[in-house]
Amino acid sequence: MTDTPRPAAPRPLRVLAAMSGGVDSAVAAARAVEAGHDVTGVHLALSANPQSFRTGARGCCTIEDSRDARRAADVIGIPFYVWDLAERFREDVVEDFVAEYEAGRTPNPCLRCNEKIKFAALLDKALALGFDAVCTGHYATVVVNEDGSRELHRASDMAKDQSYVLGVLDEKQLAHAMFPLGDTLTTKEEIRAEAERRDLAVAKKPDSHDICFIADGDTQGFLANRLGGKAEGDILDESGAKLGTHDGAFGFTIGQRKGLRIGHPAPDGKPRYVLDISPVNNTVTVGPAEALDVTALTAIRPRWCGTEPAAPGTYTAQLRAHGGETEVDAELVGGELRVSFKEPVRGVAPGQAIVLYDGTRVVGSATIATTSRRTEASV
């Protein structure tokens, strides 16, 4: 017996929930179940030699994390499996990370993992096995337009927004992505409270922050180990004068201030920052903070969350995972993105991703190739 017609309930989907063992992905999976979907949990084994236990907020690929994910799946009441994507992860994320540093750039492996692992290797396998979507615990919002096209937007809670690391997703990947945490206004505290309410033991588990495959958090040590130990080179000032030596140019990041070990202060007494890394000469150039001011950049490998912009436009841009927004003019010239900043920005390094937004909507992303400084064109 039906009286008033009701809007059709959204079609239940077969959803593969990627469960890291953390609180976000557990709550995301639980919400997907609550929304009526047929959910299967999967933990990605990304390390060939996983550590047994987590150390604080580091790592996300330990056996303990796998067990936490399994327990969450038990409580939610969904099937759970562990998939071994360690080889793909090594090839597409870890090797790339090392190679980028070796080339003097500063990669973001989380974006790379989303692009190549979670929404490529995992998604492809999921679709082939008959799933409709991959669900993760990212804080971002997918908006479905009337014509069925999709847009990726910032999460309702800007403080937790992770749309930046999803900026690499194209429309096809987005069509099969589900982010149950971004759709509602929820703070991390509320997510933890929700996990508690759902009897998920991971409710109090610390967030993971550092790079998951560098368990001890020592990125420089990791790189030194991978790139063959010390390769002593010069630290130069802007004029090219030698100020000191370093143990390998790959260990530095543009904008870095600590760990330069130059010894004697700058003539003006102001702190010095890494301005430039040249792997070819194995030199690191340092200078004052002002010299970090970037006014424009070019970026390669653009990926668009929807249609490619046809004309130059004004956008807001985000340059790192927890960075703020800045206004830019951007133009696509021969497949390369040219961006100029309305106000100079600091700490921009080749290898990082620039994500363009139109309001809250993610327009696309690209990998920074070159930057122009106010003082002189560089890199």
Partner 1 sequence: MAYLDHAATTPMLPEAVEAMTAQLTVTGNASSLHAAGRRARRTVEEGREAFAASLGARPSEVVFTAGGTEADNLAVKGLYWARRDAEPRRTRVLASPVEHHAVLDAVDWLAAHEGANVEYLAVDRYGRVHPDTLREAIARDPDDVALATVMWANNEIGTVMPVRELADVAAEFGVPLHADAVQAYGQLDVDFAASGLAAMTVSGHKVGGPYGIGALLLGRQYTPVPVLHGGGQERHVRSGTLDVPAIASFAVAGVLAAERREDFARTVGALRDDLVKAVLAAAPDAILGGDPAPGGRLPANAHFTFPGCEGDSLLLLLDAQGIECSTGSACTAGVAQPSHVLLATGTDPDLARGTLRFSLGHTSTAADVAAVAAAIGPAVERARTAGLS
What is the closest distance, in whole angstroms, from the C-beta atom of residue 183 to partner 1 in the complex?
Answer: 27
What is the closest distance, in whole angstroms, from the C-beta atom of residue 42 to partner 1 in the complex?
Answer: 9
Q: How far apart are CA 128 and CA 274, in angstroms?
A: 46
- Which amino acid is located at 369 in the chain? A
What is the closest distance, in whole angstroms, from the C-beta atom of residue 272 to partner 1 in the complex?
Answer: 46
Which parts are annotated binding residues for ATP?
18-25, 44, 137
* Pair type for strands 38-45 and 14-18: parallel
Pick the catalytic residue: 60, 61, 110, 212? 212
What is the closest distance, in whole angstroms, from the C-beta atom of residue 176 to partner 1 in the complex?
Answer: 14
Q: How far apart are CA 366 and CA 356, in angstroms?
A: 9
Nearer to partner 1, 82 or 369 (CB): 82
Pick the catalytic residue: 61, 113, 135, 305? 113
- Assigned token pair, 109: 């492996």
Q: Is 212 labeled as catalytic in the residue annotation?
A: yes
Burial of 236 per CB tally in 10 Å (0-12, 13-18, 19+):
buried
- Assigned token pair, 226: 């991978």
What is the closest distance, in whole angstroms, from the C-beta atom of residue 74 to partner 1 in the complex?
Answer: 13
Nearer to partner 1, 47 or 136 (CB): 47
- Assigned token pair, 25: 């992905």
DSSP-derived letter for residue 58 is B
Residues forming contacts to partner 1 in the complex (CB under 8 A) are 40, 43, 45, 50, 63, 66, 70, 79, 81-85, 87-88, 121, 124-125, 128-130
Which parts are annotated binding residues?
18-25, 44, 137
Nearest to 122 by CA among 152, 157, 92: 92
Burial of 338 per CB tally in 10 Å (0-12, 13-18, 19+):
middle
Nearer to partner 1, 83 or 375 (CB): 83
Distant-in-sequence, close-in-space partners of 127: CB < 8 Å, separation ≥ 6: 176
Nearer to partner 1, 40 or 371 (CB): 40
* Pair type for strands 133-135 and 80-84: unpaired
Q: Is 113 labeled as catalytic in the residue annotation?
A: yes
Taking each helix axis from N to C end, the angle separating 219-226 and 95-102, rounded to the nearest 10 degrees, works out to 90
Q: Which amino acids are annotated catalytic?
A: 113, 212
